[in-house]
Amino acid sequence: MKSTAAPILEVQELSKFFGPGCPQCIEATGPEQGNNVCDTCSTVVACHGVSFQLYEGEVLGIVGESGSGKSSLLKCMHLDEVPTFGSMYHREVGMGRMDLFQCSDQQKRAIRNKLLGIVYQSPHLGLRMELSAGANVAEPLLLQSLRPRFSPIRARIVELFSQVELPVSRLDEPVRYFSGGMQQRVQIARALAPSPSLLLLDEPTSGLDVSVQASVLDLIKRIQWDTGLPIVVVSHDLAAVRLLSQRILVMRHGRVVESGLTDQVFADPHHPYTQQLVASALS
Amino acid sequence: MKIKKKILLVRNLKKTFTMHLLASLKVEALNGLSFELEEGDFGVLVGPSGVGKSTVLQCIFRTYKPTSGEILYLTREGQWVDLARCEERNVLELRREEISYVTQFLHCPPRVPAEFVVAAPCVLQGRPLDQAVWEAREMLRRLRVPEKLWKAYPMTFSGGERQRVNLARAFISKPKLLLMDEPTASLDAKAIESVVEVLEDMKKGNTTVLAVFHDKGPIEPLVTRVVPLVPKSPGEKSHEGLCPARSYGQGVWR
């Protein structure tokens, strides 16, 4: 089989604590204990011991209720947060042997700008509302080159706008004039601008109404088709994750309680929490 | 006579569901099933409702994780892989390249035209989009899906039209192993006829089929192997010995 290639991304034993941390933290939290706050030192164990690999062309879904640690995990992966423990390797950084979390801040910025694209649930987090839509998409491109030139960047923005189905005529309007669904498309265009090798989506469709949700999902699916870009999508919307991903991790109280092929986890869930989750979903 | 290659060996397959929400109720769906298929076989699983026919298909496709046992499958590259245990990414690759599964229900993204839904597996196999769409249209034509529907969304189709889109999608990837779960349940006689024609062609192309059929009549001439599943009577411990290799094709198929 062809599946011998190295993974694009490997996350090993990633943990993120908010608080001082004590020797009891890990034992006192988790799905068995039913909470993610350590009784002894009040540390929040946002996620603990998360490991996975991501291969070319794969979409990995991370599902779980609010507070299960899925967004903390994604923030660590985008190098926005420094994890308490763990390491992460990217195929294109230091021959795949360099721990991204150990990089200098400067290296992290470069990695973020070049290799990682992110789309947040709220456009306010990912976009500068007072700037034009075009400027928002241009920003990562401007950061990439030492002597940016206007016309190639402008051309790239026009290309990205048509890729995400935004009207090119509105390129120079402030992004705050745009509707929620369009702002989400601007975020996607911005994330794709530097041709990243990994796209991170944090609840990309959660704030949108159903018709817009469907069109954004359709767009993500199409981008994935056209580019084969690996994607990690975090969402509590099971239907969206089911549609997008081939594999999923189910998180609860900061731990991965189950992982597997998406259709298998939905059809044959093993962990009590996953069974509850699947049984509660509106089909 | 040409000696046929074995391509699927199911050995002592067991599947038990534990329902944690119902006080850890255990439901035993399969208890030690064994059978094999040769290349080009058209196998049918038979037995009364609830005996685990669909469970067998889903274990092979890994929609269910088998509790124990082996599902050895011979890949196009000539390697034996245990589908019950192999890595997820290998399962994904096999699903993309070699193993298709059709259920009674079409699951597809909303607002994607039928011809693209059908072309998708081809594109994933690396064929260019226009060629994939052309092949998709040919398959939709063969299965008698009206041309005016090709650009419409399958979610708006009738049951039979949806099912034909579902079948077209599975046929188009030219699988080595095709799993089907009552694929003709919602089709009329004419549509079934066109499905049987495509299946005949696939059989000539050495596709191995394992299927569950509600209405056996129209596909009967294609069947080369019968895998009977026997319900577990109280006091009996396992299926083992009840469906040994020698009983294939004997009398159960009526």
Q: Strand pairing of A59-63 and A85-90?
A: unpaired
Q: Are B91 and B62 in contact (CB under 8 A)?
A: yes
Q: Is residue B75 part of a domain?
A: yes
Q: Is residue B210 part of a domain?
A: yes
pLDDT at A210: 83
Q: Is residue B234 part of a domain?
A: no
- Interface contact A276, partner B, CB < 8 A: yes
Q: Is residue B1 part of a domain?
A: no
- Interface contact A6, partner B, CB < 8 A: no
Cα B53 from Cα B31, distance rounded (Å): 12
| Average pLDDT, rounded, for chain A | 91
pLDDT at B217: 82
pLDDT tens digits, residue range A63-85?
A: 998 889 999 999 999 999 999 99
pLDDT at B247: 37
Decide if pLDDT at B70 tops 90. Answer: yes
Count how many residues are written for chain A. Answer: 283
Query: How many distinct structural domains can be found in chain B?
Result: 1
Decide if pLDDT at B235 tops 70. Answer: no
Q: How confident is the model at residue B237 (pLDDT cuts 50, 70, 90)?
A: very low
- Interface contact B111, partner A, CB < 8 A: yes
Q: Determine the average pLDDT of the residues in B192-203.
A: 93
Q: Are B149 and B174 in contact (CB under 8 A)?
A: no
pLDDT at B2: 60
Decide if pLDDT at B30 tops 60. Answer: yes
Cα B85 from Cα A151, distance rounded (Å): 54
Q: Who among B65, B77, B111 is closest to A1 (CB)?
A: B77
Q: Determine the average pLDDT of the residues in B187-196.
A: 91
pLDDT at A1: 60
Decide if pLDDT at B249 tops 90. Answer: no
Q: Is residue B254 part of a domain?
A: no
Q: How confident is the model at residue B243 (pLDDT cuts 50, 70, 90)?
A: very low
Interface predicted TM-score (ipTM): 0.84
Nearest CA among A239, A57, A261 for reference residue B124: A57
- Domain holding B29: CATH number? 3.40.50.300
Q: Determine the average pLDDT of the residues in B49-66.
A: 94
pLDDT at B215: 80
Q: Strand pairing of B99-102 and B177-181?
A: parallel
Q: Determine the average pLDDT of the residues in B117-133.
A: 92
For B176, the 3-state DSSP assignment is coil
Q: Supply the pTM of this predicted model.
A: 0.88
pLDDT tens digits, residue range A161-215?
A: 998 889 999 999 999 999 988 999 999 999 999 999 999 999 988 878 888 888 8
Which range among A20-34, B158-172, B196-210 shows the weakest confidence by mean pLDDT? A20-34
Q: Is residue B240 part of a domain?
A: no
Decide if pLDDT at A112 tops 50. Answer: yes
Cβ contact, residue pair B20, A272, below 8 Å? yes
Q: Is residue B249 part of a domain?
A: no
Cα nearest neighbour of A53 on chain B: B89
Backbone angles phi, psi at A114, to 5 degrees: -95, -40
- Percentage above 70 pLDDT, chain B: 90
For an interface test with B, give the residue of A1, A51, A220, A244 to mutate (most B CBs within 10 A). A1
Q: Who among A214, A272, A275 is closest to B111 (CB)?
A: A214
pLDDT at B239: 44
Number of cross-chain residue pairs from A and B with Cβ atoms under 8 Å apart: 62
Q: Is residue B238 part of a domain?
A: no
**A93's tokens:** 């950084």
- Interface contact B65, partner A, CB < 8 A: yes
pLDDT tens digits, residue range A84-94?
A: 999 999 999 98
| Residue-range definition of the domain harbouring residue B125 | 6-228
pLDDT at B244: 35
- Interface contact A154, partner B, CB < 8 A: no
| Average pLDDT, rounded, for chain B | 87
Q: How confident is the model at residue B209 (pLDDT cuts 50, 70, 90)?
A: very high
pLDDT at A282: 65
